[in-house]
Structure formats: structure tokens, C-alpha cells
């Protein structure tokens, strides 16, 4: 039986430290916007949809880059994306159910 070497595996290129720091900066900015939106009275009518959208963006960034789904098989991307979409659908349905979107 032949031995497998490191050269048999497809090489995956990882991001540089600067790229990870830039992504961390973007995540920090999104978090600051979330906190800011929460405390601005003018955004109270749109609070839930805005926070859901910003949270989904943060989830996507973390999953794509820090969990390396961007370079992994598409099946893993679907395993994380489909539950997110299901949870988002349930959250939006609950918002409609409890009258958050009704003026």
C-alpha cells in the first residue's frame, strides 16, 4: 500500500495575518454600529431588522474566514448557511407575528 505524503493533499492558501486583522476590524465596526443603532431613538422602529441583518453579516464573515469555509468544500458552506437562513426565517416570522413590522 503506497504511503500518502503531504504533497498528495491539495494545497489550501490561507489568508495573511493582515487580512485576519482587517476582518477583525470590520467585525468590530459592525459591532459598534449595532451598539449605536440600539441607542439611537430614531432607529427604534427598524431596530430588529437592522440588528438581524448586521448579525447575519457578522456570522457570514466569521464562518467564511475564521472557520475557513471559503476554502473548504461547498457542502460545509451549506451546512452552516441553511440553518442560518432557517433561523432568519423563523425570526422574521416571529417579528411579523408579534407586530413589530406593523405601523
In a domain, 22, yes or no: yes
Q: Report yes or no on 84 lying in a domain.
A: yes
Residue 57 lies in a domain: yes
* Residue 6 located in a structural domain: no
Q: Is residue 7 part of a domain?
A: no
pLDDT in tens, 47-56: 888 888 898 8
54 is a domain residue: yes
* Domain interval for residue 42: 16-97
Name the domain count of the chain.
Answer: 1
Those residues with Cβ within 8 angstroms of residue 80's Cβ, 6 or more apart along the chain or in another chain: 63, 67, 69
CA distances from 7 to 1, 10, 62, 84, 98 (A): 17, 7, 29, 36, 56
The predicted model gives 37-44 an average pLDDT of 89
Q: What is the percent of the chain with per-residue pLDDT over 70, rounded to a whole number?
A: 84
pLDDT in tens, 60-99: 888 778 877 777 788 887 887 788 789 888 988 888 888 7
Query: Do the domain assignments include residue 4?
Result: no
Amino acid at each position: 500500500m503506497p504511503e500518502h505524503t503531504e504533497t498528495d493533499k491539495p494545497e489550501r492558501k490561507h489568508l495573511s495575518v493582515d487580512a485576519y486583522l482587517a476582518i477583525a476590524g470590520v467585525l468590530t465596526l459592525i459591532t459598534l454600529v449595532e451598539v449605536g443603532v440600539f441607542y439611537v431613538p430614531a432607529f427604534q422602529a427598524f431596530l430588529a431588522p437592522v440588528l438581524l441583518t448586521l448579525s447575519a453579516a457578522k456570522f457570514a464573515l466569521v464562518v467564511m474566514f475564521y472557520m475557513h469555509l471559503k476554502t473548504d468544500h461547498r457542502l460545509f458552506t451549506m451546512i452552516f448557511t441553511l440553518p442560518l437562513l432557517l433561523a432568519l426565517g423563523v425570526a422574521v416570522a416571529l417579528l411579523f407575528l408579534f407586530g413589530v413590522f406593523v405601523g
